[in-house]
Amino acid sequence: MKNSHRQAVLIILTVAAINVEATSLKGTRPNVILVMTDDQGMADLSCMGNPYMKTPHIDKFYKIATRFTDFQVSPTCSPTRAAILSGRHEFKNGVTHTASLRDFLALSTTTFPQLLQKAGYKTGVFGKWHLGELPDYLPGKRGFDEVLIHGSGGIGQPADFPPNKENKYFDNVLLHNDQVVQTKGFCTDVFFQAALGWIKEQHMAKQPYFVCINPNAPHHPNIAPEKSKKRFYDDGWSEGMAGRGGMVENIDDNFGVLWSKLNEWKALENTIVIFMTDNGQSGLPGKASMRNGKLVKVYTAHFKTGKGTAYEGGTHVPCFWYWKGVLGEGVDIPALTAHIDFFKTFCDLAGVTIPSDIQPIDGRSLLPLLENPKAEWPDRKLFVHVGRWASGTDVETYKYVNCAVRTGRWRLVMPRTSNAAMRKGKLNNDPAQFQLYDIPTDPYEGTNVAEQHPETVQELIKAYDRWWTETVPLMVNEKRKDKERHLHTLYDEALKKGIPDWTPPTF
């Protein structure tokens, strides 16, 4: 090879190496803002086709975002949160329910915010926690520096602070770090206010941060500010439907304020903003009543089920990412991705090496897809189980009940209707008792093709059996006997001293 040609090749290789390095996101240490709403699913957004809702701010975000179009979570609230923080299926962290002490994230689990803290990130969570209220389970012990949360799965539920039972969603008693405080106003507004004040503080200090903004809306009960639900009520919707619509549009208003402030602070150049929901749309498809007695079909984004089911409608949710000048705008990523992928993704972004002595991680890093939406993405198997069996139950009784296996092409489902067969001991791994859907051609699961593909059914059953066998020993909360409601104790102690008013931060 002539010297001139060799030099040209070396120059080309050097430029290529520089370009690869320049486009790599690993160790870039962006800030991350994760907004995760409660029970919203795919359907309650106008950008997803809902004809009743008006969500202009999230719609604009959707248009400029990188969108994971086949993004999967768990069927209910605590499970999704456990899977996100741990990088593995929720059952492997002991979370098999949303109550009954089986929503406590196992203390043996290391969360990725704990690793981010060690790498110099500040971390915050505002809104819903739902992974345990005993002292060692609260977010301040699980990797979060700044905390403003309610208790239980929803404001006013049994494990939450007692006054919230009568005063749901407005003027709530919350836990601010280690202090019980009295807030004023609608809960979603309070959580966004707190998060924005904290974000501004980190931004001004040039401090890298990770923050979860987790409103408990639009989880029932359907309560919203009068100004948010007035439009629906004026249009003739029932009080309940007006409340849910108002909650959704109030979230959109708050997201708009967040977006405006990030632009005002010029904070978007080094900040990833993510919008997603924690499970499918709450409530099964049906008819919604209006005040005049007319019934209107609920918009479900074409899914046949919602939250708490093993079908697509229970676990397929929106997931929109934005990083100014870095991620593509209006780009769809069709690869099969999931909440368990966040752990490695955020660690890679932060330049964190995951210790070898923590729990095995089920998820992958999304960085290859964020860097190149057309990157090779090997097929995978994701396992779904609704759980929620009664405490003290032999878990083997529910092995094949309300569960699914999902691959890039297939979804194998054992539906809720099999409970009776299970109780009678008639439910085994007979392919005839499973449903198989070809998702790329049948995304809304209209045609069961199990009989046409018996080999696929058997392959997925065997994979599920292996997963179940390795998972059952990790269900550490099944025999919990704790009776203490720690937030009740904290509230009683705070009452003796006087509960201070929470002062909203300025932003």
12 lies in some domain: no
Q: Which residues of the chain have pLDDT under 50?
A: 1-22, 418-419, 422-423, 425
209 lies in some domain: yes
Judge if 348 and 409 occupy the same domain.
Answer: no
What is the helix (H) or strand (E) element at residue 187, kind and residue range?
helix 187-204
14 lies in some domain: no
Task: Name the residue range of residue 460's domain.
Answer: 382-474
Judge if 105 and 223 occupy the same domain.
Answer: yes
How far apart are the C-alpha atoms of 506 and 305, rounded to whole Å? Answer: 42
Distance of CA 229 to the CA centre of its chain: 25
114 lies in some domain: yes
Q: Is 2 exposed, middle or buried (0-12, 13-18, 19+ CB in 10 A)?
A: exposed
Sort residue 415 into left (φ over 0), alpha (ψ -120 to 50) or beta. Answer: beta
pLDDT for 431: 56
Judge if 149 and 172 occupy the same domain.
Answer: yes
pLDDT for 218: 96
pLDDT for 19: 37
Domain containing residue 221: CATH number: 3.40.720.10
pLDDT for 430: 57
Among the candidates 328, 348, 371, a domain finishes at 371
- CB-based contact 210:32 (threshold 8 Å): yes
Judge if 353 and 204 occupy the same domain.
Answer: yes
Judge if 223 and 310 occupy the same domain.
Answer: yes
pLDDT for 17: 37
Judge if 357 and 398 occupy the same domain.
Answer: no
488 lies in some domain: no
Judge if 160 and 291 occupy the same domain.
Answer: yes
Residues 6+ apart with CB under 8 A from 160: 150, 151, 152, 154, 487
Domain containing residue 402: CATH number: 3.30.1120.10
- CB-based contact 104:78 (threshold 8 Å): no
Sort residue 330 into left (φ over 0), alpha (ψ -120 to 50) or beta. Answer: left
| Strand residue runs (E) in 339-474 | 382-385, 403-406, 410-414, 435-438
pLDDT for 343: 98
479 lies in some domain: no
Judge if 353 and 456 occupy the same domain.
Answer: no
Judge if 318 and 401 occupy the same domain.
Answer: no
- CB-based contact 177:146 (threshold 8 Å): yes
Among the candidates 320, 341, 371, a domain finishes at 371
How many separate domains does the chain show? 2
334 lies in some domain: yes
Q: Give the pair of three-digit tokens for residue 504.
A: 């909203």
Distances (CA, A) of 160 to 105, 174, 481: 17, 9, 19
Judge if 281 and 415 occupy the same domain.
Answer: no
Judge if 200 and 292 occupy the same domain.
Answer: yes
Among the candidates 371, 397, 412, a domain finishes at 371
Q: Give the pair of three-digit tokens for residue 435.
A: 């449903």
Q: Is 377 exposed, middle or buried (0-12, 13-18, 19+ CB in 10 A)?
A: middle
Distance of CA 51 to the CA centre of its chain: 24
310 lies in some domain: yes
- Evaluate if pTM is beyond 0.85: yes
How far apart are the C-alpha atoms of 149 and 168, rounded to whole Å? Answer: 14
Judge if 258 and 404 occupy the same domain.
Answer: no
Residues 6+ apart with CB under 8 A from 269: 324, 325
How far apart are the C-alpha atoms of 163 and 492, rounded to whole Å? Answer: 11
pLDDT for 167: 85
